[in-house]
Amino acid sequence: MSNTTKPTEVAKNAAAPSTPIPLTRKPVAAAPTSVVTAPSGTASKTACIRTFGCQMNVHDSDRMRRMIQDAGFAEVQRYEDADLVVLNTCYVRENAVDRVRGHLGELNRLKKEGRVKKVALTGCIGAANESRELEKQYGIDLVLGTHNTYELAQFVGLPGMDETFTPELPGTEGEHSAFVTIMTGCNYQCSYCVVPSVRGRMVCRPMENVVEEIRRLVGSGTRYVTLLGQTVDAWRDPAGSGERFCDLLERVADEAPRVWFTTSHPSNMEDRTLRLIGEKETIVGRLHLPVQSGSDRMLKVMHRGYKSDRYRRKIEVFREAVPDGTLSTDIIVGHPGETETDHEETLRLIEDCSFDSAYVFKFSPRRGTEAAALSADPSGTVPEDVAQRRFVEVLRAVEQNAFRRNKSKVGAVEDIYVRHGRTGDGKAVGETWSGHAVHIPTEAQPGRYVTATIESAGPHVLYAGDPAGRPR
C-alpha cells in the first residue's frame, strides 16, 4: 500500500456525510407508551447510557441508543437528569464490578430521591452470576446479558423484537463512522479471560447480511466502517460455503470507502488477510494483533494456541505487505507464573516486532478464570512491585520503538481522516491511511479528509501543520 493510491480511492468514494444525531436531541414526536414515567410537568422522557469497556460495548450501546431514541427518549449526560439509566458494563478487569457498584449506589440514592425512575444493567456484568446479587442489593429494574440486549426494546415501550442474535439489529446509521459486529463470542479459553463465559461460543453472522448492512450504512453517509468481533478473523460463513474472514473483508472493502477491523487472534490471522490490507485501497493499514507475552512458556500457560515465532512470522508478512502500516498489540505483565526470563522474552519480542503502540495490562485476577485460581497460590503470584517494574519496562520499550517509528513520518504529506472534531486545545484528531493518530489544527467536521504535512511526532501521536486546501 502506498500513500499515493489510497487518497485516490478516497476521492472516488467520497460521499457527503450526513449530520450526526446530537446526543441531547429532544424527541419531536409523541412517544409510544413506555414503562418509564415522564418527569412531571413535561411530556418528554430522558435516558442516560453509560458505557464501560471495549468497542463491542460501545457498539451495543449504539444499538440501545437507537432503541431509546425510537421510544421517544431524549439522551442526557447526567444521571440526575435521566428517567432511565442504562449501565452497559464490562467485566474484563477485576475491579470492574466494584466500579459499577459505585455507580449503582449513586443511582439507588437518586431513585430514592425520585430523580431517577428506572435503572437497567446490561453487558458483561449483566450476564455474570454477580448480577443477581447486584439486582437485589440495588433494586435494579432490568438486567440483560450481552446475548439479549434486544429485550431493552420492549422495556422502553417498543414492540417486542423476536431476535435471538443481537447483531441482526441495525447498527448506527447516518453517522460518519459505524461499527458492524460480524461475530460474537469466542471459542478460545485463555486463562485470564471471562469472555467465553459471558459472551458464549462464537456465533458468526451471514456474509450477505453483513454486506447488506454496510450498503445501507454507506448509503446513509457512513464513510468509515469498523468490523467488530472478539476474534474477528475467526469469522467463517455460517452457511458452510467455506468463505473465511479474508473473503468477507474483501467484499466489505469493495463496498465501503474506509474499512478497519478488530480484534484479531494470531492463530486465525491468515497471510492472505495481511496481504489484502496492503492491496485494498480502502483498508486502513493498521493491524491490532494481541500477543500477550513473548514467552512460549507463558503463551502455553495462557492457552493462547501459538508460539512467539509464529507471531513474529505474521508480523513479517504484515510489514512486507504494508511497509507504511501501524501495528498495535495487547501485553499482559505479571500473569501467575511469569518469571524474569519470561519477561525478558517479552521485551525481546517487542524489540523484534517494533510495535507502534500497545495496550499493556498488569495482571488482575478475574473471578472464575483459571488464572484467578493460579493467583490464589502465593508461590505462583508475581509480587506487586515486580509486576509494576515489568509493566514500566514493557511500556518504555514499546514507547521507544513507537517514538522512533513516528519520527520517521515527520515531513510526510498525508491525507488525514478527521475522526473527532476540534477539541479544547483547538486540534482535531485524525487518522492517516497508515493508521497513525494525528492532531491537526482544522475546523473540518468528523468524517472529512484534509491534507497536511506532519511537522512533529510524539511517542503516541503525530502533529500536523495547517491543512492545504479545503476539507473533502
Which residues lie across from 181 on neighbouring strands? 228
Rounded to the nearest 10 degrees, how much is the dihedral formed by the CA atoms of 354, 355, 358, 364? -40
Q: Is 427 helix (H, G, I), strand (E, B) or coil?
A: coil
Based on CB atoms, which residue is closest to ligand SF4, 64 or 186?
A: 186
Based on CB atoms, which residue is closest to ligand SF4, 188 or 261?
A: 188
**Left (φ > 0), alpha (ψ -120 to 50) or beta: where does 53 sit?**
left
What are the percentages of helix, strand and coil residues in the chain, rounded to 5?
Answer: 35, 20, 45
CA distances (Å), origin 144, targets 37, 71, 87, 121, 418: 21, 18, 10, 6, 35
Based on CB atoms, which residue is closest to ligand SF4, 47 or 198?
A: 198
Minimal distance in Å, beta carbon 222 to ligand SF4? Answer: 26
Based on CB atoms, which residue is closest to ligand SF4, 188 or 260?
A: 188
Quote the crossing angle between the two packed helices 308-321 and 340-353, to the nearest 10°. 10
C-alpha cell at 386: 515486580
Minimal distance in Å, beta carbon 340 to ligand SF4? Answer: 24
CA 14 – CA 472 distance, rounded (Å): 8
> Beta strand pairing status for 224-228 and 203-204?
unpaired
Residues that bind ligand SF4 (CB under 6 A): 186, 188, 190, 193, 195-196, 230-231, 265
Question: Which residue shows C-alpha cell 478473523?
Answer: 233
Q: Which amino acid is at 44?
A: S
Minimal distance in Å, beta carbon 330 to ligand SF4? Answer: 8
Based on CB atoms, which residue is closest to ligand SF4, 138 or 361?
A: 361
CA 106 – CA 122 distance, rounded (Å): 17
Minimal distance in Å, beta carbon 206 to ligand SF4? Answer: 22
Handedness of CA 268, 274, 276, 281 (dihedral sign): positive
Based on CB atoms, which residue is closest to ligand SF4, 265 or 390?
A: 265
Minimal distance in Å, beta carbon 196 to ligand SF4? Answer: 5
C-alpha cell at 182: 460480524
Based on CB atoms, which residue is closest to ligand SF4, 196 or 441?
A: 196
